[in-house]
Amino acid sequence: MTTTDVMDWDAITRDPRFMDLHRRKTAFLWGLMALSVAYYFLLPIGAAYFQDLFKIRVWGVINIGLLFALSQFILTWLVAVIYGRKSSRDFDVLAAQVLAEFSGRTASVRPGVNT
Amino acid sequence: MKTHFKKTPLAALLGLAALGASFAIQAQSAAGEGKRSLTFIVFAVIIAITMYVTYIAAKRVRSASDFYTAGGAVTGWQNGWAISGDYLSAASFLGIAGLISLYGYDGFMYSVGFLVAYITVLLLIAEPCRNIGRYTLSDILTYRNDPRKTRIFGALSVITVSTFYLTAQMVGAGVLLKTLIGINYETSVLCVGVLMLAYVLFGGMVATTWVQIIKAVLLVSASLLIVALVWVPYGLSLPAFLQDVVSDPKVQARVATLLGDPAKTMSAADLGQRFLEPGLYLKAPIDQISLGMALVFGTAGLPHILMRFFTVRTALHARQSVVWAMIIIGGFYLLTLFLGFGAAKFVGPADIAAVDAGGNIAAPLLAQFIGGGPDSVFGNFMLAFVSAVAFATIVAVVAGLVLASASAIAHDLYVGVIRDGKEVSPTGQVKAARIATLIVGALAIGIGIASKGQNAAVLVGLAFAVAASANFPCILLTLHWKRCNTAGVIAGLVVGIVAAVGLTLLSPNLTYPKAVKAAAHKVLDEDSAKRAAATEALKSDDPKQVAKAKKEIGALDKAVTKANADIAKWGNAQTSFMGLEAPWFPLKNPGIISIPLGFLAVLIGSLLFRDRRAESLWNEVYVRQNIGLVVSKSTAVH
């Protein structure tokens, strides 16, 4: 962990590795987020408007609605595991590289700190 | 200094032993049986353990950072358990199990919503918050913005959300302890308040964290034990268990009652199966979606949950703690399926509703049944254990909420606004935090007692709605949108709070005397015809018909009493508290309107009042949140 207070923020934002990190992270996070939210809202929408589908029994008395609700747990855990692994393997490594590159240098100006 | 901290918790420990004793005396007079002393012993053991933890923790609290964030020394898995302890309120343990036991499938949909909410926390909120914030939600909001103005409104929002949530917990505590161990409402609220104050005042975040961890472990163990006892006889087969639930006459009778006339043409098997299908509780589709929005986006704006991310050292730990929390919270919500359906099968929805109309006592009653019933020692031990866990649950959640409110008052309003960033000594900051805690705690007890009879579920819904409509858009946009600035954040907070609270005040959640009285008059008008029919049926030769008719007459008597009480209660009143005869806003949950309004306000506010300074600081925020640079102590004091 580093507690470096001031770095050359503007230079970092122009660094290709940082830009790459940010682009990949943004795509990954918002993509996963949009997917999860869409999947979740299928539950109240299905429960309200597609009750006939939810009522179909597939495993003993267990119906599609119940299985779909249970699948939300699997999805949530999958998101947690996938994101955890992706971050520690990719994002954290890239971030550490950028950090190592810039932590030696300090900025000439201290933009807005201690205001 | 050190001796001061050593002595006070000891004194508190003694005081709480006395409090526990008063519990026992009250409970004893209520039932006067040996099983009450069993309850007392279980309560005393749990209180003693948490007080010991507080005593140890109090020695470690020396600075504001210790008090608010446990010095940032909490590890990932510890924080994961603590988040679970902070989040799993009595509403989830007792409320959701109760809803499932009374309404089947629809109750379980709440479990899903409360869990999925953590995806938002994990992906968008936890790590940036750790990187940008220090003690409070306002720390994040002020990072690029005018510190004074933003802090005032940020603190206002934190206090609003926490007050609704806190009131809900206090009301729940009063009702629960009254039902579970027979002490009166006011004493229950006072006990929860005093115990919580002891933890927070002396042990700050260190004690609060450990109380939350202990409570989460207890809650999960108690639930696992009950579920094991319920499920193992079915060979851990889900279809076999649910088959037995839907075949149960008690469950089938419940569905018949809920459905009314359409149930008459359905077979017993169909009625039972209907318990596993949606639509018995949540009837308005848009309302369901609106509630889902408040849950999924509101959790990411709950101040007492966000505060937990400041207790870990780095973004990596923040991430690990959410992953842990998602596993624990998900596992727990999965258990609610067995707690709820198990209670429906073994205790029966009618008996559950007879003790508490909201079903809140379903899990404790199931525990008692599964342990061997009301006459067995193990059955009563299980009831005592689960009651004590419910009590610990409420105290731990309340502690987190009070700490969040106190930090908003002491750190944001006192240190940040009143002293205007002038140096406040570490001792002075801790003192301010403790005074704020005392004030918030006393207010919480007062509001809890004054809110007797309020609907806890509506209050929790309101807390989530405000968090989703005000806090969430502001945090998200200040972290992810360059143009976001002071004007946008203030507009978002104000519009979010006003929209969520305002729409709720105009919603069907309030009592509308005109409609209540109309319904009461209808009951009275129809009474004579129904009574005549039932009296006729009494003459029947079939004993089943006679029993049914007797039951119906009993129900009619109850309905008439209630109708008369309603008419007497509302007298000449025609309008709700807001002066409306009928709800102006048709939904019970405002989220679907208020959340977009909150986002819109941040966007418009930011675009109308452009702020170069906020934009010039963007690169710093952007880099910090992406590469996990933690705000160190020297820079974070604005």
Which of A107-111, B35-39, B468-472 shows the lowest mean pLDDT across its residues? A107-111
Q: Residue B424's pLDDT band (boundaries 50, 70, 90)?
A: confident
B238: nearest CB among A18, A62, A113: A62
What's residue B531's pLDDT? 84
Q: Residue B241's pLDDT band (boundaries 50, 70, 90)?
A: very high
State the burial class of residue B236 (Cβ atoms within 10 Å of its Cβ: 0-12, 13-18, 19+).
Answer: exposed
Q: Residue B334's pLDDT band (boundaries 50, 70, 90)?
A: very high
| Cβ pair B212, B399 in contact under 8 A | yes
| Cβ pair B122, B323 in contact under 8 A | yes
In the predicted structure, residue B454 carries a pLDDT above the cut 80: no
A54: nearest CB among B278, B288, B623: B278
* B237, B353, B387 from B98: Cα distances, Å: 23, 9, 15
pLDDT tens figures, B482-509: 888 999 999 999 999 999 999 988 888 8
What integer is the mean pLDDT of B578-582? 79
Residues of B in contact with A3 (CB under 8 A): 630, 632-633
User: What SS3 class is residue A58?
Assistant: strand
pLDDT tens figures, B5-22: 444 444 554 455 555 545
Which of A48-57, B492-501, B561-570 shows the lowest mean pLDDT across its residues? B561-570
Rounded to the nearest 10°, the torsion over CA B4, B9, B12, B18 is: -130
Give the separation between CA A71 and CA B221, rounded to whole angstroms.
24
Q: Give me the percent of chain B exceeding a pLDDT of 70.
A: 93
Supply the DSSP string of B529-585, one letter for each residue.
Answer: HHHHHHHHHHT-S-HHHHHHHHHHHHHHHHHHHHHHHHHHHHTT--S-TTS-SS-SS
What's residue B16's pLDDT? 54
What's residue A5's pLDDT? 59
Q: Does A105 touch chain B (CB under 8 A)?
A: no
Cβ separation B123–A33 shorter than 8 A = yes
Q: Residue A18's pLDDT band (boundaries 50, 70, 90)?
A: confident
In the predicted structure, residue A109 carries a pLDDT above the cut 50: no
What's residue B18's pLDDT? 52
ipTM: 0.85
| Cβ pair B6, B59 in contact under 8 A | yes
pLDDT tens figures, B197-240: 988 888 888 888 999 999 999 999 999 999 999 999 999 999 99
pLDDT tens figures, B114-133: 999 999 999 998 888 888 88
What's residue B322's pLDDT? 92
Which residues between 35 and 74 in chain A have a beta carbon less than 8 angstroms from any beta carbon of chain B?
A: 36-37, 40-41, 43-49, 51, 54-55, 57, 59-63, 65-66, 69-70, 72-73
Contacts of B545 (CB under 8 A, 6+ apart): B537
What's residue B15's pLDDT? 54
Residues of B in contact with A107 (CB under 8 A): none
Q: Residue B33's pLDDT band (boundaries 50, 70, 90)?
A: low
| Cβ pair B628, A92 in contact under 8 A | yes
Query: What amino acid occupies position B306?
Result: L
For A1, the closest chain B residue by CA position comes to: B314
Cβ separation B109–A44 shorter than 8 A = yes
Q: Average model confidence (pLDDT) for chain B?
A: 85
Q: Average model confidence (pLDDT) for chain A?
A: 82
Count interface pairs A-B at CB distance under 8 A. Answer: 186
CA torsion sign for B480, B486, B492, B493 is positive
What integer is the mean pLDDT of B298-306? 92
- The 10 Å Cβ neighbour count of residue B546 is 14
* A49, B285, B294, B455 from B288: Cα distances, Å: 11, 5, 10, 18
User: What SS3 class is residue A59?
Assistant: strand
Cβ separation A95–B626 shorter than 8 A = yes
Which of B116-120, B497-501, B538-542, B589-593 shows the lowest mean pLDDT across its residues? B538-542
Provide the token pair at B188.
């229950």
Which of A11-20, B15-24, B154-163, B268-277 shows the lowest mean pLDDT across its residues? B15-24
Q: Does A107 touch chain B (CB under 8 A)?
A: no
In the predicted structure, residue A107 carries a pLDDT above the cut 80: no
Supply the DSSP string of B72-139, one letter for each residue.
Answer: G-B-HHHHHHHHHHHH--HIIIIIIHHHHHHHTHHHHHHHHHHHHHHHHIIIIIHHHHHHH-SSSHHH
Cβ separation A63–B277 shorter than 8 A = yes
Give the separation between CA A106 and CA B608, rounded to whole angstroms.
35
* Residue carrying structure tokens 């830009």: A19
